Structure 1
Amino acid sequence: MMLPESKNGITIRIMTVEDYKEVKPFMREHFYYDEPLGIGINVPLHLQNEAEEDQHHLDMIRQGLSLIATEDSNPEHVVAIVLAEKLEPHDIEKNRIYAEEKEDNLLGRILRLMAKVEREANVFEHYGVTNFLNSYITAVAAPARGKGLGSRLASTLIELGRSRGFPVMAAYCTSHYSAQQKDALGMECIYTLAYADYKDDQGRGMFTPPAPHTHIRVMAMKL
């Protein structure tokens, strides 16, 4: 696995804790409100449970599995990121408890949805493995989209996962395009949930992202 790797004026390398000072504002600008569950919302999602979320992201970065893409002409300029982590069976329960403890704000509702998907997809059982590489967040800057950078990041993460001995990689795709991209790389859909079927106690849909984002999908592959 040869990183950093430069192509078309953009270098992909492993993210460091020091990068987080650029990564955090990048996510505010290009992830929280561009991701299907945050499109068109008028609440400050990036500020909800901010300290805990920062800690979670930094814990992930310390595992050395996250990626950052920067411009060769301006290495300070971030154009895309992937936050990724190793997951083991006990993490599923830990994530459920983390989600359940959150208040009933938008982030809390998103975390509870993701915890449900994680439990029901059960990547460990599906593949008979005791750990896997979880592609947690992928974000590409708006001007850099549509140029294959997301696929390049995913391919790089697959290779990194192989080099680190992971048996499986999985991604929980809230976006139609993200799932499509993972499918093109040979990942299979092992679980799907229609947003319309995820309802609150009164039977109302809790998330109504714009088309074509109709389902959340878990995409995975053996490495």
Structure 2
Amino acid sequence: MVFIRPSTVPYPTVWHRFTVRRNGTTASLRVQDLTEDKFDAALALLSEHFTRDEPPCKYIGINNYPTAVAELENLWRKTINDKLSLVCVEDKDDGSSVLVGVNVLTVVCKEDKEEPFKSEDKVWAKLFGAVDLVARSVDLFEHYGVDKYLTAYGLVVVPEWRGCNIGKEILRARVPLCKALGIKVTATVFTAAASQAVAKKAGFADLFEITYEELAQKGFVFPGVEEDTKSSKLMALVID
């Protein structure tokens, strides 16, 4: 079955509010549902920063392969139509708002028809194939005794806001979201040491880890990726 956001869960909803100190001032931010009016801006943010900064994308040089970029953008576009993804927005004093982060989210159900990942695009096959391998390393349904879980296809914070714990706060917003959706577990493949550290701060625990050297032995080669991070991890958070 394809998970559909329950009509009992208001859309849009603000799931989390917080403040941070930045440039000597206090900024007020909120994490809310990604609404249609922000779809284009969110996709542009992902296309500009995720493709450039996420280690496997960076070291395989995805931006040199338009068809692979198109595959990734199609995945994001299809996923955000589920109306489960989140954005972090700064509320300005003049009433305007600024998009500072995006997390592309979806729900995987036990009854979903699973088909092995395949792609004729070699770069996309390597990128998504590596994530798919890690994601399938643990049977989350059996491990947690659940019939569905929340997962992600990308988390990005604009460079000017990095170092302010924005990523951690976006991840924390999954807790009220999951509670509203009746979901007991959220799990994600974190491909960068930085995002792994952020996830740990947000309460996520390691379920599976594989080094990029081991991934290379399986055919998923990202030359130089070890300069940024040594491994890819499947991490999960149980929702109390």
Sort the TM-score into its range (normalised by shorter chain): 0.7 to 0.9
Q: Separation in 2 of the partners of 1:75 and 1:153?
A: 20
Q: 2:120 aligned with 1:102, yes or no?
A: yes
Matched letter for residue 180 of structure 1: A
Q: 2:81 aligned with 1:62, yes or no?
A: yes
Q: Which residue of 1 aligns with 2:184?
A: 167
Choose the corresponding residue for 2:104, options 64, 70, 83: 83
Q: Which residue of 1 aligns with 2:232?
A: 216
Q: Separation in 2 of the partners of 1:6 and 1:40?
A: 34
Q: How does 1:113-132 map to 2 (within 5 A)?
A: 113-132=130-149
Matched letter for residue 83 of structure 1: V
Choose the corresponding residue for 1:11, options 30, 43, 59: 30
Q: 2:65 aligned with 1:32, yes or no?
A: no
**Greater alpha carbon shift after TM alignment, 22-31 vs 85-94:** 85-94
In the TM superposition, residue 55 of structure 1 has moved relative to its aligned partner by: 4.0
Native 8 Å contact 1:176 1:212 kept in 2: yes
In the TM superposition, residue 117 of structure 1 has moved relative to its aligned partner by: 1.3
TM-score (norm 1): 0.85
Native 8 Å contact 2:126 2:220 kept in 1: no
Q: Secondary structure at the match of 2:46?
A: helix
In the TM superposition, residue 47 of structure 1 has moved relative to its aligned partner by: 3.3
Q: 2:42 aligned with 1:23, yes or no?
A: yes
- CA distance change for structure 1 residues 57 and 28 in 2, over 3 Å: closer, same or farther? closer
Q: Which residue of 1 aligns with 2:6?
A: none
Structure 1 unaligned regions, length at least 5: none
Q: Secondary structure at the match of 2:114?
A: helix
The C-alpha deviation readout for 1:151-176, integer Å capped at 9, x for no partner, is 11000122211221101111110011
Structure 2 unaligned regions, length at least 5: 1-8, 20-26
Q: How many residues align?
A: 217
Q: Which residue of 2 aligns with 1:206?
A: 221
Matched letter for residue 77 of structure 2: L
Q: Separation in 1 of the partners of 2:75 and 2:136?
A: 19
Q: Which residue of 2 aligns with 1:157?
A: 174
Matched letter for residue 219 of structure 1: M
Q: Secondary structure at the match of 1:160?
A: helix
Native 8 Å contact 1:12 1:70 kept in 2: yes
Q: 2:162 aligned with 1:145, yes or no?
A: yes
Q: Secondary structure at the match of 1:65?
A: coil
Q: Secondary structure at the match of 2:87?
A: strand
- CA distance change for structure 1 residues 164 and 90 in 2, over 3 Å: closer, same or farther? closer
Q: Separation in 1 of the partners of 2:112 and 2:132?
A: 10
Matched letter for residue 19 of structure 1: K
- CA distance change for structure 1 residues 134 and 75 in 2, over 3 Å: closer, same or farther? farther
**Greater alpha carbon shift after TM alignment, 35-44 vs 1-10:** 1-10
- CA distance change for structure 1 residues 15 and 46 in 2, over 3 Å: closer, same or farther? farther
Q: Separation in 1 of the partners of 2:203 and 2:143?
A: 17
Please report the RMSD computed on the Cα atoms of aligned residues, expressed in angstroms. 2.6
**Greater alpha carbon shift after TM alignment, 38-47 vs 159-168:** 38-47
Q: Separation in 2 of the partners of 1:9 and 1:72?
A: 6
